[in-house]
Amino acid sequence: MFRLGKLILICLTCIIATTNSATSRKNVEELNEDNWNRMLTGEWMVEFFAPWCPACKDLEPIWSDLGDRKRELGINVGKVDVTDSPGLSGRFMVTALPTIYHVKDGLFRQYKSPRDRDSLVNFVRSKTWIKVQPISSWKSPTSIQMSIISQFFKMSQVLRAIHTKLMEDFGLPTWGSYLIFAIATIIIGAILGLLIVCVIDFIYPPKPAKSQNYSRKGKETGERKDKNSDDEDFIENVKDDLVDEEGSESGKEPEKSEKSEKAPEASASSPNARKRKPRKDD
């Protein structure tokens, strides 16, 4: 009879403990990449943890107690397993575990105070979070750039799983797996580069070759015209110099006849006489 009563007592204790643990789990909401945007409404305290983290295991009973007090404090308490949701670890830039965030109406503040019960409760009850500078809009988890970073974190998790599968299931050595990744990276980079070039050519198409040839021809003809005009001026200047020299030589010989004296005067006064053009400055 005594053994039966002891057995019943143990069963009741186990049932109560299981009920309490289930209640605590309900009080602490599990968030992931599908429902993480729930923390954008209201006030939240969110923990980022990993099952293998010793510090996270030490914080677990304290965090469960905070979940039990969420109605008293008027907040929501959640937690994120970074091994199941690697994208959120990149979105929130989680570099150490455990990492705690306070979220109020879409404003994110990182909790860096002691992780005991009293400190966590006073942080919420006394509104100490007001003194903490919120994360800038550039690093906000809701920004576009952080969404892109979260996709890279997801991709890294997928690549790690592929690497593990190649080594365990197919028996490839480590260097063989890395070689496959290197070749795939080169091929993907070449394809992306080709796509980028095609997009640039579509947005900014190159000028047609005919118009370029016409413009070159126009420049060449213009240069030829300028060169011809310069040659003509040079020839005219040479002719003027020859005329001046002939005139000076004829002046040296004295002329006795009156006809020869009158000839220059007549040539100067005649309208058909060629006038000397002023020389251009070199």
Write down the pLDDT at residue 110: 94
Least confident of 194-203, 226-235, 238-247: 238-247
Residue 219 counted as domain residue: no
Q: Check 11, 14, 53, 198 and give the catalytic one.
A: 53
- Do both 162 and 59 map to the same domain? no
Spacing of C-alpha 205 from chain mean position = 24
Structural domain for 117, as ranges: 28-144
- Residue 165 in any domain: the answer is yes
- Indicate the residue type of 254: P
Residue 44 contacts residue 52 (beta carbons within 8 Å):
no
SS3 of 250, please? helix
Same domain assignment for residues 140 and 157: no
Q: How many domains does the chain have?
A: 2
Q: What angle do CA 66, 28, 77 make, to 5 degrees?
A: 60
**pLDDT of 17 higher than 60:** no
- What is the rounded average pLDDT of the residues 108-127? 93
* Mean pLDDT, residues 1-21 taken together: 46
Q: Is 11 among the catalytic positions?
A: no
Amino acid at 1: M
Q: Do 121 and 195 reside in the same domain of the chain?
A: no
Q: What band does 210 get if pLDDT is binned at 50, 70 and 90?
A: low
Q: Are strands 76-81 and 43-49 parallel, antiparallel or unpaired?
A: parallel
Residue pair 123/66 in contact (Cβ under 8 Å)? The answer is: no
Measured CA to CA in angstroms, residue 212 lies from 140, 203, 216, 217, 255 at distances of 50, 20, 6, 9, 67
Is there a single domain that holds both residue 102 and residue 182? no
In one letter, which amino acid is 93?
M
Q: Please identify which of the residues 11, 14, 56, 198 carries the catalytic annotation.
A: 56
For residues 94 and 97, give the distance between their C-alpha atoms in angstroms, rounded to a whole number: 7
Considering 5-19, 37-51, 244-258, the range whose residues carry the highest mean pLDDT is 37-51
Tell which of 144, 167, 189 closes a domain.
144
Q: Give the span between the Cα atoms of 181 and 171, in whole angstroms.
A: 16
Residues 6+ apart with CB under 8 A from 149: 90, 91, 93
Residue 6 lies in a domain: no
Note if 14 is an active site residue: no
Asked whether residue 248 is domain-assigned, the answer is no
pLDDT confidence of residue 49:
95
CATH of the domain at 75: 3.40.30.10
143, with CB counted inside 10 A (0-12, 13-18, 19+), is middle
Give the pLDDT of residue 121.
94
112 & 33 share domain: yes
47 and 150 housed in the same domain:
no
Q: Poorest-confidence range of 21-25, 130-134, 230-234?
A: 21-25
> Which residue among 115, 144, 173 closes a domain?
144
Structure tokens at 210: 């005919």
Specify the 3-state DSSP secondary structure of 102: strand
Q: Which of 64, 76, 98, 93 is nearest to 31 (CA)?
A: 76
Asked if the structure places residue 87 within a domain, the reply is: yes
**Which stretches within the chain are classed as H helix?**
2-27, 54-68, 70-73, 86-91, 117-125, 144-168, 174-203, 209-252, 258-269
Give the pLDDT confidence score for residue 126 in this predicted structure: 93
Go through 215-248 and write b for each residue having 16 or more CB atoms within 10 A of its CB, e for each that does not.
eeeeeeeeeeeeeeeeeeeeeeeeeeeeeeeeee
Burial tier of 117 (Cβ tally within 10 Å: 0-12, 13-18, 19+): middle
pLDDT over 60 (residue 242): no
Average pLDDT of span 39-67: 94
